[in-house]
Chains A and B, each alone.
Chain A
Amino acid sequence: MVRSVNELGLQRINMPQLGESVTEGTVSTWLVKAGDHIEKYDPIAEVMTDKVNAEVPSSYTGVIKELVANEGDTLEVGQLMCYIEVEGAESGENRTQPEKPEKAPENNAPADKDQSMKNRYSPAVMRIAQENDLDLTQITGSGKGGRITRKDVENAVNNKDQASNQPNVKSQQIPEESQKEQVEDFTPPIIRRKPIKVNEGDREIPVTGLRRTIAQNMVRSKTEIPHAWMMIEVDVTNLVAYRNAEKDQFKENEGYNLSYFAFFLNAVAKELKKFPELNSCWAGDKIIQRKDINLSIAVAHGHELYVPVIKNVDEKSIKGIAKEINELSRKARTGNLTADDMEGGTFTVNNTGSFGSVESMGVINYPQSAILQVESIVKRPVIINDMFAARDMVNLCLSLDHRVLDGVICGAFMSHVKSILENISSDTTPIY
């Protein structure tokens, strides 16, 4: 909290430096209390440091307004001890002269178009290029002035090596040794961005703050979290019938759509209550299980993807959930989503089905531990009691943080969600 100190004639008395190497002091006894009138240089407190015990004198004449530090508190040098209301407006020399924050000028200039350093090669670049028979004119420099850096040539060497030796991306394995990793020391590998050539006619779209937030989280998520993946098929014929029966009336009454998505969120929230393991996050030396069930949902608008949050979904009816989905979508469309709307999510449900997708691998919304993709509901022939039946089927795809979660718990969670969805009716899931 910032006080408008000068306006009120209030001045701060801070912990003084009581010795050459002293960085903190402990208030052992206050010698004044709020309301006391004191003269300049009157002692206000006894302070103890490693080197000396001393009485701290007041820097002003006035009335003590508030003792901020308690007896026994250890304050860093310069930290606030108390406020004093100074007598005579002009008397106080402006001791708390605000220091102008001397920030290094932020270099927001986009990718350097200056290419003056393009043909200046460092000894390291020359050596690596020669050893690997690289044509430096074919490499784009990421350094200042288009300079080709050592990393640029090292990347070029790696790319050359890998060209004939691509790893098989399909065989995604869940690594077993993940339990032992030392996550505290984890430093995500840094990906150096090469400036990407802009051709004539290309459109350059600046990255907005919201987009940047999402991008950073996604990169962080994919580099730090060991993702594992599973998918189940759910027969939602009952849900489709139920929703079709109610949707027109609902629209008429409420003024917005009764979406399938609300039912999925409802089912997920109910099961997260039973499986708090999935409603958690990795915090290095511990796992934090969240009490609140706040579902992040993906809302697309134009070319942007927003991830706002519906809070306490487990406490809301189908209608309540539908209403919030509607509200957040509207905000997204009008560009009115705030950072607040995007904060506090504990688990993400992504409505990939709305794009027609039937199977996808979500990237976990950092620092959550899982994301559920709800795919398109499609009519498919299914064998029930040895007979073909036309059923409404949907795939639910779960990406999970394998440091936090394992297949057993996620399998149980998924089968419970499936069970809720397959047995949906007006009895089990009232809309209001």
Chain B
Amino acid sequence: MAVLNYIQAITKALKEEMERDEKVFILGEDVGPRGGVFRATDGLYEQFGEARVLDTPLAESAIAGVGIGAAMYGMKPVAEMQFADFILPAVNQIMSEAARIRYRSNNDWDCPITIRAPYGGGVHGGLYHSQSIEAIFANQPGLKIVMPSSPYDVKGLLKASIRDQDPVLFLEHKRAYRLLKEEVPEEDYTIPIGKAAVKREGSDVTVITYGLCVHFAKQAAEKLEQEGISTEILDLRTVYPLDQEAIIKAASKTGKVLLVTEDNKEGSIIGEVAAIISEHCLFDLDAPIKRLGAPEVPAMPFASKLEKEMLMNSDKIETAIRDLAEF
């Protein structure tokens, strides 16, 4: 088993799926000879040629829209948005088209497209290279939003996304690209979309989060274990539609719930998670549901100190878990 970082796991999944199914192809800005600005498609142009690793004009709505057309025809396009921040010109295509095609045609047409986009801060990307955009899309039935937290999950979830018969927005944390490394099996495997995963068992406090924040939560939990505080971590993996069953189970287990996101707190994914818990778990709750997110500023500033202030980290999570444990 090889140790891969997060972005290598992406490349591996793309490569294996393209080898497995001729209908899989990639389109986006700089995905060709350059191999992607983050190197996610490194080597794929060389292996599969220009026809299947397509450099597009700088036009996000076309990247999505052309992909949607190809998907309706029967292909399995993987469209890349260079930064999640730049997905907004494509929102009409993603929401009005991709997400609605099956429903509006009464199951006559479908749209099996995967749209990959790097999100998240911590790389000095400033306002427009750091944003979390999942909440914008997270009330669009017909669409699935997958946000993996580790290289192992990346491979299994990206393969599942490409094979999925419906449109999937696959959001990758760009800081995780080279930060997170782990053993990733050579074999072909998929991880089911729509299912959350318990990443750590614990009995005092339940942390529910996703993406890179899972990593921070694990760090905090390890530290707190030495203080005798035992933390359960649920990784949502798919943030839309949510795995209600897993959320209810994890929240009920300890009755003390901390929800974490890197996104601005208000209107974020975790607000919906909190609503599910309050609907279903009242009589298991032993403390108010606690949310930890970014302050309500429009997007991540560039200067290091401002960026750091805004970002989620393991210290913030640790303090919040401890507060809940002591409550």
A residues with a Cβ closer than 8 A to B are: 17, 20-24, 50-51, 102, 104, 122-127, 143-144, 147, 149-151, 187, 190-193
Q: Are B286 and A124 interface neighbours, CB within 8 A?
A: yes
Pairwise interchain contact A51-B38, C-beta atoms closer than 8 A: yes
Pair B284/A144 contact, Cβ less than 8 Å: no
Main secondary structure of the interface of A (DSSP, over half): loop
A74, chain B: closest CB distance, angstroms: 11
Contact B283 A143 (CB under 8 A): no
**Contact yes or no, B203 A147, CB < 8 A:** no
Task: Kindly list chain A residues whose C-beta atoms are within 8 Å of the C-beta of B127.
Answer: none
Contact status A123-B282, CB under 8 Å: yes
Would A122 and B201 count as touching, CB distance under 8 A? Answer: no
Instruction: Please state if B124 and A20 are interface contacts (CB–CB under 8 Å).
Output: yes
- Which residues from chain B sit less than 8 Å from chain A, CB to CB? 7, 37-39, 118, 123-125, 129, 174-175, 177-179, 201-204, 225, 228-230, 254-256, 282-287, 315, 318-319, 326-327
Q: Which residues of A contact B204 (CB under 8 A)?
A: 151, 190, 192
**Which of B204, B254, B286, B318: most chain A Cβ within 10 A?**
B286
Q: If the complex has contacts A122-B287, A124-B284, A190-B228, are A21 and B326 also in contact, measured as CB distance less than 8 A?
A: no
Query: CB distance B285 to A122 under 8 Å?
Result: yes
Measured between beta carbons, the chain B residues less than 8 angstroms from A126 are 283
Q: Is the interface of B mostly helix, strand, loop or mixed?
A: loop
Q: How far is the CA of A143 from the CA of B322 in the complex (A)?
A: 12
Q: Give CA–CA (A151, B258) in the complex, Å.
A: 17
Judging by beta carbons under 8 Å apart, are B38 and A123 in contact?
no
B39–A17 CB distance below 8 A = no
Are A149 and B327 in contact (CB-based, < 8 A)? yes
Cα distance A144–B256 when bound, in Å? Answer: 14
Which residues does chain A contribute within 8 Å of B203, judged by CB atoms? 151, 190
Q: Is B285 a contact of A123 with CB atoms below 8 Å?
A: yes
Chain A residue nearest to B323 in the complex (CB): A144
Given contacts A21-B123, A23-B179, A24-B178, contact A144 B201 (CB under 8 A): no
CB <8 Å contact, A144 and B327: yes
Known: A124-B255, A187-B225. A50 touches B178 (CB 8 A): yes
CA distance A190 to B229 in the complex (A): 7
Q: Are B285 and A50 in contact (CB under 8 A)?
A: no
User: When the two chains form the complex, which single residue of A127, A187, A193 contacts B201, counting CB atoms closer than 8 Å?
Assistant: A187
Bound together, the chains give a CA A122 to CA B278 distance in angstroms of 13
Contacts of B326 in A (CB 8 A): 143-144
Q: Which B residues are in CB contact (< 8 Å) with A23?
A: 175, 178-179
* CB–CB B225/A147 < 8 A: no
Which of A20, A50, A190 touches B174 (beta carbons < 8 Å)? A20
Of B123, B124, B284, B327, the residue contacting A147 (CB under 8 A) is B327
Q: Is the CB of A51 within 8 A of B39?
A: yes
Q: Which residues of A contact B129 (CB under 8 A)?
A: 20
Among residues of B, the one whose C-beta sits closest to the C-beta of A219 is B228
Q: Are B178 and A122 in contact (CB under 8 A)?
A: no
- Chain A nearest Cβ from B205, distance in angstroms: 11
